[in-house]
Structure formats: C-alpha cells, structure tokens
Structure 1
Amino acid sequence: MLHTRKIIAVALAAALLAPAAKAEIAFDVIGGSEISFEGLVQADGNWFSNDIVDQNGQALNGKDTEFELRRAELVFKGKGPGAINWVVGHDLKAKKWLDVNAKYTIGGNSNNYVQIGQYKQPHSLEELTSTKHNDFIAKASITNGMTVARRLGVAAGTGDQNWSLMGSWFTRELTRNGNHGVGYGVRGTFAPINAGGNVLHLGLSYISRDTDGDALRMRVRPMADLATAYLVDTGNVTNVDSAATTGLEAMYISGPFKLQGEYMQTKVSGVTSARDFDTDGGYVSALWNVTGEKFGYKGGTPSLGLPDSPAAGMFQIGLRYDTINLNDGSFAGTPPKGTGVLGGEQDTWTLGANWYWRSNFKFALNYNKVTSSKFRTNVGNVNDDPSSITARAQIYW
C-alpha cells in the first residue's frame, strides 16, 4: 500500500508540473537528444454481480468488489541525435518493460522507418492505439486473448497519411519469464476517405509465432480486468507447434463520432494434426465525443487531442458488443464427454462513459453484461451470465 501511495504522489506532482498544452515533461538536450519524461497511472475499482462462478473467488477475501492500482508506467523518450528516436518505458505495477527501442526515420518522413528493440507488434487496431485513450476500461476479448503485444525484434514501416505497411520479425519479451517464441507479423492499412474530419480506415494483419511444442492456453476475463475468474478458458493445450492469427479491422470517423470493429481468427497447429484447433471472435464499438472534440488519424490509428474547454473537460459515451468463441470440438454421451478444445463462448455488451479533465486526468465508468457458455465434463454446457461495474481514475503526462 505504501508503494502504491508513493507512485500516486509522484504521478500527481508530475501531472501538476506538466505544461497545459504539452503532456510530456521536457528534461534537457544530452548528446544531441531532446529527452522528455512521460507517465501513466491508472487505479481501478470493480463491482461484481455473479451468476454461477464467483468472479472474484480466487481473491479469497469473500468480497464482490476489488480495488487495485492497474498501471504505473514511466517512460523516457529521446528525439535525436539526427534521425534517431528512442524510448525506454517500464511499468512499476506489473514489473515489466514496455517500449524499449530505437527508431531510425528515413528521408525525414516519420512513416518510413526501421526499428529495433521491444515494441508493439503490427497487429490489432485496439492494441496499437494508445492505452491512455482506451475507449473502454477493458480491452476487447480478442485483443486480450489473441494478440501478440510487445516483443523484442526488428521492424520496418512505410506509408503516408492514407496508407501504411509494417513488417516485423520478433522473439521473446524483454521482461524475464515473459512470453517467448520466434515469429513474424505484417499489417497494412488503407484510408480511402481521409479529409474534412471524415476517415474510413481498413486494415489487414497476420501474425504467426512458434511455441516449440509447449502448451498454449487461451482465456479471457468477463470484461473486468480485476476479476480472478475466467468464464471461457481452453486450459493448457499441450504439444502445440505454432499459432497464427489473421485480423480484419475497419473504422469510420466523422468529427466527434467513431465507429470501429475488428475480427480475428487464430489457427493453432499441433505437433500432430489431432492437436489442431481454430478460434475466432470480434467486436463492434461506437464512441461519441458529446462535447464536440474531433478525432484525429495518423499512422493507421485514431488519435485524440485535449479538451476544447480544459476546465469543463471532454465527455464521451460509448457502446460495444464483444464476442469470442474458444470452442473447436464436440461432446456426446450420457454423461457427456468432450473431444477437441471446448473453451467456451462469451458475449458481452459494454456501456461506457469517459471524462477527460484538463490535460492530465481521465475518469471512466463501464457497465458490462456478460453471457457465456462452457462445457463441463459429465454435465454438458453450463450458462453463466454475470455483470459488473468497472471504474477507473487515470493520471497521465
């Protein structure tokens, strides 16, 4: 608790010191590099309404509520020397490295570059969008369950304001005992409409990673990040050789309104064909800046500026439908026995509101209604339909 209080105190001081029109704190120019300091601190509260499974059961505290520091990210960035930009970030809460890389810009165009180190892989519109501007508190099921996030590797990208292409070869995470496995990924985007505050974005990505015969487990929480239960879960599937995910994405922006959706399919290849299985899922969401601020678009992802009126802040409301299917098998008999992978299906409606106040604060409130179904040996499919209210207070600079 004392460690958490110190982090929040440092975050408040940094946020209050940050200039109103500029998020990061400028340090100095050292060795030809303009160094700045950024941070993100998020504190969450979850209130659970259970159906069958206790969403907070593994906390072993007998409560249907949970409060926790979610993220405490500190990031140093450098511009220069020359065409080189670098970043070193660490999450003190999760005790893991974030972006730690250097990027060389080619021809003075930020869209043309070569990158080395740890970075987000070219996959998923939601994953590549800045965490501080998440539309909803919990990311979509496919984003949490199917994407490959930050890994060590080498990447190259090119594009302009209407299209982008990025390719990457990667290995393990920089953090000790993190995710591992060699892989590669590619993402391409195209915006046939990008003018006058209106954007139509289309994207396609493919990412493949080796698991070297290890076990693979796919599972997602019931749209509450502090929940300890997973209503859909494949369990450890052994003797898996590789996993490949194809992603389709689309987004439409019209001034203060944003509509976006993604669909993903993951094909898992086993050491033998008997271990093969497929999963899929997707989401569609709508977000409206009630106070009128317009969304931006750069590098194949949406962007969000400061409130037009810092004292009043920027207010958003949003709605999302989310689905994931971790079943690729069947069951029969009395009592029923299953074959293949029967991880379950989960659908969720999320209603959310966000308030960005001044330059450094955000408050979010979500209501999540989940419907799920999962096979249990000797029982059959069991439906579990809980709900939750989640809240977040955020400081960033």
Structure 2
Amino acid sequence: MKFLLPPIALLAAACLVPAHAEVPLGTVAGSDVAFEGMFQVDGYWFDNDVLDLDARPDGRDRATGVRRFELALKGSGPGGLGWVLGYDVYNETYLDNNLTWSFGGDGAPKHTLLFGQSKQPNSLEELSSSRNNDFIAKAAATSTFATGRRLGASWGYDAEDHGATVSWFGRNLDDDAGGAGYGARGWWAPVREDGRVLHLGLSHVDRDTEADALRLRARPNADMAAVRMVDSGALADVDRLATTGVEAMWISGPLKLQGEYFLASADRIGNPGYDASGGYASALWTPGGGTWGYRGGLPRTSVADAGLWQFGLRYDQLDLDDGAVRGGRMEAWTVGVNWYWRNNTKLMLNYVDVASRRTDPATGARIDDDPSILEARVQLHW
C-alpha cells in the first residue's frame, strides 16, 4: 500500500497519539500485549553536480514522501517468553518477527534465545533503534556492509558490562536477501556509569552469496536518492562474503562520540579476492543536561520531557575500489539537528556535503561528483 500524508497532517496526528513508547492492549494467555508504530515523512532537496540524484521525469530537484510506516505487536511473559510481529506497511516488508526466551538476570548474566527474523549481530548503528537515529540516513558504510534482518536463531549473553551474540541465519521473510551464514558480536564497557559510558565492540559476519553474485553500492546519505554514487557493479563469481566490524562509543553527559569501521572481503571464484571498506565517526551533543542510557551493548535515547534538542556532526567514507573492480570512493560530511517536539514526535534537519570519484566503465575516465543535499524528516512514534 503506497500513499502520501502531508507533514501537517502527521503533526496533527501527533497531538492525538498518547505520548509514551507503546500502547498497552491488555493480557492475552498470560502475555502482556502492546502496540507500537513509527511513521516518517521525508523531504530532500538536491544540489546536483554530475548525476541527477532525483532522476524524476518531471525534472524536479526534490523528493518528498513517506519513508517508513512500521507497525508492531509485542508480547512479554510468562516465564521469560517474548514475541514480536512487525511489518512496514508502506515499504511492504517484514520487520522483526520472532519468539524469544530469556532467563537469568537479577544480578546474574542474562541469556536470550531467539528464533525467527531479527537484525543480525553486526554494526552498532544498525542495531540501534531506528526511531532514535542520530541522523536521517545511516552512514554509507553501515547501509552497505551491515547484514539486516534475516530468519534464523541466535543466543545472546548480557552481563551488563560485557556481552556477546552468536547467530545463524538464512533468507528473510521477504525472500529477497539470500545467502545463509553466521554472525557474532562481542562488546565490553570498561566504563559504565550513569551518564558516562565507554563501549568497545567487535563483530564478524560470514555469509554465502545468492547464485555466486554480489553487488555493493551506496546512495549519497539520502534514502530517497534515485541513483547510487558508488557501485562495484555486478560480480558474478563471488562464493562468500566476510565482513568484520569494529565499534567504539564514548558517552559523557550530554556528549556522545561514536565510530565504526568495516572491512568486507569477497572470496571470488577464479579471480583475486575483492576487498571493500568504510566507516564513520560522529558526535552528538544534547544541551540542557540530557544524556543517554546504555543496555545490551547499545545506547538508549531517553526523552523524559518534550523539547529535547540534539546537534550532530558526522564524517563517513566508503571505498569500493580494489584491483580491477573500480566501484568508486565517497566521502560525506553531515550536519544535523533533532528536536523532540513531543515525547512521540521528532523533527530532523540535515545538510549533507558529498565528495565522490569513480571510473566510467565505458571510457575509463575519472568522474568527480560532489553534490550537496538538504534533508528534513517528520517522525511520529508510539
């Protein structure tokens, strides 16, 4: 179901939705059931250089529309059992759909077994909640290398200041992201206090490819851009892809510093291997004394009162050039501001400055393409 809702109507709806994280629906068969949702409307204004990032037949230099409309039912209990059923109505894709069993805790390490579809254990940015993203678009490296939701099973271990997750996965429920594999992520917080956290993490995902094919490419930090600025092209001889990620985060009161680096290595059949890499570093500042929580190896944004402001800066880079594969290189600076108008309503404004270079496959000529983008988002969540 594809539709548009003007931002003014979305803001009006925000006034009617209860300002808390979820809507309780009662208890069914001993399970406390709640309803959650998130609705995002985006607007992008492109200052093109070489490529037409909008690429619409009407020649407009902007794109506006719904980005996500996510709905989820969640249940907790009894006996440590939990479940979730999630669907993105606008993009017509399945979200988390799984059953969990947790045991331990209360001063002892907590163990969680999960069966079904969930995000795989890689990337601090990918695993963090989408409703509290620091910037409108994830870093190009995260979007390119992180393995998203897949069907499978996992075991998680959480001892509060350290933990780990190990998973096995196959396709997803939409049947469009093949390649079975395994993943693992470990994290350690040598400093973990109220308003002060040092987080270090390491992840690795190794997966098969669908029909020995692989293509890595990325948009210029604009989710609705019509074209990719860097592109490895279709590689038809890749047996497996292994991606290793390192992550670090420092929270000190109103300041959060965060960074990740990824190295992806493709095992090719009859050709030298192909390596691609990328990463980002970001800073987010919350004036007025706000800070972040920390649980399960992830930052937790707390919006106790309406009117919370956040100011952010991010640098990210992506390198898809290696040997005969000339996928291109891209760097981007993003400046952003977030305002939680109400506890359940978030307004975002980003400015992205991109510098890229790639090789024209037809002529072999180098193409420098340096656009800029103004981005806005209105988000309602409950």
* Common topology (TM > 0.5): yes
Retained in 1: the 8 A contact 2:7–2:41? Answer: no
Retained in 1: the 8 A contact 2:140–2:318? Answer: yes
Retained in 1: the 8 A contact 2:284–2:312? Answer: yes
Aligned ranges for residues 19-58 of structure 1 at < 5 Å? 20=19, 22-57=20-55
2:185 counterpart (181, 184, 187): 187
Do structure 1's residue 4 and structure 2's residue 4 form an aligned pair? yes
Aligned ranges for residues 199-348 of structure 1 at < 5 Å? 199-272=197-270, 274=271, 276-308=273-305, 310=306, 313-329=307-323, 340-348=324-332
Aligned-pair RMSD on alpha carbons? Answer: 2.0
TM-score (norm 1): 0.91
Q: CA deviation at 1:197?
A: 1.5
- Distance in 2, matches of 1:266 and 1:151, equals 19
Identity %: 46
Q: CA deviation at 1:380?
A: 2.2
Deviation string for 1:11-45 (max 9, x for gaps)? 96587342x4x310000101111000000000000
Deviation string for 1:50-109 (max 9, x for gaps)? 11111112x322110000100000010001132101000000111010000011001256
Structure 1: runs of 5 or more not aligned: 330-339
- The match for 1:332 is none
Do structure 1's residue 105 and structure 2's residue 102 form an aligned pair? yes
Q: CA deviation at 1:231?
A: 1.1
1:382 counterpart (347, 367, 372): 367
- Distance in 1, matches of 2:312 and 2:83, equals 34
- Distance in 1, matches of 2:221 and 2:59, equals 20
Deviation string for 1:135-167 (max 9, x for gaps)? 000101111101101000000011222111000
Residues 14 and 103 from structure 1, CA distance in 2 versus in 1: closer, same or farther, beyond 3 angstroms? Answer: farther
Structure 2: runs of 5 or more not aligned: none
**One-letter identity of the residue aligned with 1:316:** Q
- Distance in 1, matches of 2:367 and 2:141, equals 22
Residues 357 and 7 from structure 1, CA distance in 2 versus in 1: closer, same or farther, beyond 3 angstroms? Answer: closer
Residues 253 and 374 from structure 1, CA distance in 2 versus in 1: closer, same or farther, beyond 3 angstroms? Answer: same
- Distance in 1, matches of 2:220 and 2:37, equals 28
Retained in 2: the 8 A contact 1:111–1:299? Answer: no
Q: CA deviation at 1:290?
A: 1.7
Residues 54 and 211 from structure 1, CA distance in 2 versus in 1: closer, same or farther, beyond 3 angstroms? Answer: same
Deviation string for 1:292-311 (max 9, x for gaps)? 21111110010111143x2x
Do structure 1's residue 147 and structure 2's residue 131 form an aligned pair? no
Retained in 2: the 8 A contact 1:326–1:345? Answer: yes
Q: CA deviation at 1:275?
A: 5.2
TM-score (norm 2): 0.95
- The match for 2:16 is 16
Determine helix, strand or coil for the equivalent of 2:143: helix
**One-letter identity of the residue aligned with 1:133:** N
Question: How many pairs align?
Answer: 379
**One-letter identity of the residue aligned with 1:247:** G
- The match for 2:340 is 356
**One-letter identity of the residue aligned with 2:289:** G
Determine helix, strand or coil for the equivalent of 1:16: coil
Relative to structure 2, which stretch is displaced further, 99-108 or 164-173?
Answer: 99-108
- Distance in 2, matches of 1:105 and 1:68, equals 39
Retained in 1: the 8 A contact 2:2–2:90? Answer: no
Do structure 1's residue 116 and structure 2's residue 101 form an aligned pair? no
